[in-house]
Structure 1
Amino acid sequence: MTKRPGILQNALTAASALLLTSCASAEEGRNGRAAPEKILSQRAGAAGSAADGLVREGQVPGALVMISQGSEIYTHARGYADLEQAVPVSEDTIFRFYSMTKPVTCAAVLTLLDDGLISLEDPVKDYLPEFADMSVRTEEGLRPAAGQLTIRHLMTHTSGLSYRILPGPVQEDYNQAGVFAIENRQAETLEAHVRRLAALPLVADPGTVWNYGESMGVLGRIVEVVSGKTFGTYLQERILTPLGMDDTGFYVPPEKAARLAQLYHRSTDGTLTHAGDAPLYGGSYLEKPLLEYGGAGLVGTAGDYMNFARMLLADGMFAGRRVLSSEAVALMTSNQLGPEFGEAPLAASGRGAGTRFGLCGYVTVDQPDGAPPGAVGEYGWSGWASTGFWIDRKNDLAGLVFTQVIPDDIGSVELTARVRQALYGPGED
């Protein structure tokens, strides 16, 4: 611990990268929209400084901020990807995406929709018969679920599925069954995991409650059944390769192993400790997993994920090639929850009034007093290791914030919040 301040101070001076570069893809994100606010040129430096502050305070060992607006991309790296070995964060650093995998999985499912192979209203049991007769856990015990689980329910987190690490009525069911895809990456296939998941009760009837959970893993299995390919193979062919996401996959191959950031745990007293390859967090990402998990399994670079975000901003186009239909992107990035879900359906995830849900990501529909700064119409999501991304159509902007820190409270360190405050909050200009 006595050496950490010195290491961090060296990182502040030696490992910072501040790049403002032009990109050639003129078609990406223009689409005749009104001229956006010049957020990047006016406030990018403040966003980088906000990340620097958390590194300097020791809340994170290192951070990478990447912001795209129009034809320009700003990248700022500070601190370390490996604190103990003093390896600096850089554009080549490979990060665990965790739940930022979910929107990528959504895109893969939407290619099936574009191809006319599925409907969002299809019952899941049509593809996975083990979901035909689901039950719901109540205070009185188990009862049959009302209605069938659909693909739309999976994509909107209204399926009734949950996570073992989240408190709720089914947590003990998940604990007893040992069902947690991230922890079981090396222990079972996606098919086996989904079969075990289907045997557990739901927290509520499908389509009635927004509840975070294992839904995107089930979507990955549906992709396998419909396509006849493994989820990883299909994802590679339809999303990763077309988007040039060359460093993204379900593990890091040997030739890229040195680029994988180390994972850290932050205790409630602020202490950072090396998380190693703890099974709870997915074990080693240097080994090819049995379970290719669409909910949290991908690793990759910030540049790779920016390609994905810019594709969404460009209504499905990337480098002159259509990856998703504009209709699919519009569906993905617009609110899918009706008024019956209340004013703050995502409150359990820390997102208050004004935030709804599209497909596999949040959507900002209003900016009430006290809401975090941002723009109406945003779409995005975050990851377990305190990562985050969003697209802002109003300002033709995409933002990414990466570190690798998992806090005690299953939340996130405030890195993304500080960066967004610097970009969207009241400025000196």
Structure 2
Amino acid sequence: MSPAILKPIESIARLHYDQFHHKNRGLLMTSPSISQLLRHTALAAGLLLSATAAMAQNTSDSSIKLIAPDNFGITRQEIADIRSQMQAAVDGNHIAGALLLVGNDDGVGLLETVGTQGPGDSTPIDQETIFRIYSMTKPIVSVAAMTLVEDGLLSVDDPVSKYIPEFASLEIINNETGETRPAQNVMTVEHLLTHKSGLVQSIFATGTTLGNLYEQNIPSDGSLTNREIAGRLGNLPLLFEPGTAWHYGHSTDVLGAVLEVAAGKPLDALLNERIFEPLGMDETTFWVPAAKSGRIAEPIHGEMADNTVVRAQLSGGGGLNSTTEDYVRFAHMLLNGGEYRGQRIISEETLAWMSEERITPDVSREHFFYGNRGGWSMGFHLQPVDASNPLAGSNFGWRGIGGTLFVVDPINDFFMIYMEQKRGGPRGAPFDNNAAQRVVYQALGN
């Protein structure tokens, strides 16, 4: 039995013995009653058995069941090399700590952690450390949207203006002259899911006319609700006609507001009902309770907002915090075709549909992060599993600006999660989310 289980059992036994000793100290000073001793010994044994069963139940409830890495074809030497690279990023003062995990339906074959939760924090990173996952919120909200589609509460063909009336009279801006013209295309829910809406974000349009409009009208302090932000965005011009190009931005924030209207409840309540509670993701939240603040990872470089402060905005584009233990449940569900431990979140058919390529030849890739490589679906990146063989298929997933990443690869039957917290800092880190994906594929391919 592990020390982690023995410790609470020993505490229960000691507590019960102390209670018995206190209540029967007179008997113990003379001659103990055999019947009393037997009765209390039996009770103590029962408590120990109950505690053992409870601990076993808690262990079985974890999303992380460790198995041998050779189940994935990963050798001990490869693990040592990966860990060495991760540690080099810590030693080089690029990050405080990091975690890398690879698993599938059989279990987790790779779980490596290095460093601590933050500068000046001696607490080691582990699967219970809380990370700001930023844009890894987007796939969760996208899956929630598809559950509404399955229930007939939403259609990907619906105009956004059906839910947010401010999107009824859209205009397109010439970013060089600042002139606008009426939009010819109608923005749909699918355009939000695929980042083909024409919505951008100030960080991706710095110094332009549209970027300035975003900075003036869309506060970054979380002081407005999802509906208020969506309304303001609907009154601003778009960069291009909906459906004609890909551009990252506020699309999933607006999608979050659409879901709130369609479902008639706040986004956090909707995600709890449709994703978190069925999967057991009880530590994936928009705001971290102050009592858990000691588990929050912090960056060495760059500033990150205090995620224990409750704000009005529940950002569908990047507002969630999560643990590795929790996000494994989401990634595992996706690898398993939409189901996790008997809980069906979306159907296999719906997941396959939302994972199809949506940057078709008629859609501009000018602003796509990866140029002509890979693609985008309704909520996920699409990346080739073998760059030398385009016909080998794609994985899917996404990353967060704070350094996190998850990848689901049904072709090679695994998911991976990488967690760190970093915003900026010196270039040339020996390990990051790009390196994490590269070394995992190298290890699996050897």
Between the aligned partners of 1:201 and 1:413, the Cα distance in structure 2 is 41
Matched, 1:51 2:86: yes
Counterpart pick for 1:152 among 166, 186, 190: 190
Q: Does 1:99 align with 2:135?
A: yes
Q: After the TM superposition, which residues 204-353 of structure 1 pair with which residues of structure 2 at under 5 Å, given as runs?
A: 204-265=240-301, 275=303, 281=304, 283-341=305-363, 345=365, 348=367, 350-353=369-372
Write the distance in 2 (CA, Å) between the matches of 1:226 and 1:307: 26
Matching residue of 1:17: none
How many Å apart are 1:428 and its aligned residue?
Answer: 9.8
Percent identical pairs in the alignment equals: 31
**Matched-pair contact (CA < 8 Å) for 1:407–1:413:** no
Cα gap change, 1:414 to 1:41, in 2 (>3 Å): closer
Paired residue total: 376
Among candidates 213, 217, 231, match of residue 173 of structure 1: 213
What pairs with 1:348-427 in structure 2 (closer than 5 Å)? 348=367, 350-365=369-384, 367-368=386-387, 376-407=393-424, 415-425=432-442
| Structure 1 equivalent of residue 201 of structure 2 | 163
Matched position secondary structure for 1:425: helix
1:107 deviates by 0.9
Quote the residue 1:269 is aligned against. Answer: none
For 1:215 and 1:137, locate their aligned partners in 2 and report how far apart those are by CA, in whole Å. Answer: 17
In structure 2, relative to structure 1, the CA distance for the partners of 1:299 and 1:411 (3 Å cut) is: farther
Q: Is the 8 A contact 1:66 1:76 kept in 2?
A: yes
Measured in 2, the distance between the counterparts of 1:69 and 1:327 equals 20
2:180 counterpart of 1:142: yes
Most deviating of 144-153 and 78-87: 78-87
1:25/1:319 contact within 8 Å kept: no
Larger radius of gyration: 2
Partner of 2:166: 130
Change (3 A) 1:238 1:68: same
The structure 2 residue matched to 1:117, chosen from 150, 153, 161, is 153
Q: Is the 8 A contact 1:209 1:341 kept in 2?
A: yes
Residue 207 (structure 2) pairs with residue 194 (structure 1): no
Q: Larger helix proportion, structure 1 or 2?
A: 2
CA RMSD, Structure 1 to Structure 2 (Å): 2.9
Tell me the secondary structure at the aligned position of residue 395 of structure 1.
Answer: coil
Q: CA, structure 1 residues 365+426, in 2 after alignment: closer, same or farther (shift >3 Å)?
A: closer
What is the TM-score normalised by the length of structure 1? 0.81
C-alpha distance in structure 2 between counterparts of 1:413 and 1:291, whole Å? 35
Distance in 1, matches of 2:319 and 2:237, equals: 24
Rounded to whole Å, the distance in 1 between the matches of 2:61 and 2:81 is: 26
8 Å CA contact 2:94–2:425 kept in 1: the answer is no
Matched residue, 1:86: 122
* Kept in 1: contact 2:89–2:430 (CA 8 A): no
Asked if 2 retains the 8 angstrom alpha-carbon contact of 1:136 and 1:143, the reply is yes
Give the Cα–Cα distance (whole angstroms) in 2 for the partners of residues 109 and 369 of structure 1: 34
Structure 1: gaps (5+ residues): 1-21, 27-35, 267-274, 276-280
**Is the contact made by 2:115 and 2:125 (CA closer than 8 Å) also made in structure 1?**
yes
Deviation at 1:404, TM superposition (A): 0.6
SS of residue paired to 1:381? strand
Structure 2 regions of 5+ residues with no counterpart? 1-58, 64-69
Q: Which amino acid aligns with 2:221?
A: N
Q: Are 2:107 and 1:72 equivalent residues in the alignment?
A: yes
Q: CA deviation at 1:259?
A: 0.8
TM-score w.r.t. length of structure 2:
0.78
1:26-75 per-residue CA deviation (whole Å, 9 max, x = no partner) reads 9xxxxxxxxx9934567555433332221222211110111113412122
Output the amino acid matched with 2:95: V
Is the CA contact 2:143–2:379 (under 8 Å) kept in the aligned structure 1? no
The letter for the 2-side match of 1:333 is S
Structure 2 SS opposite 1:315: coil
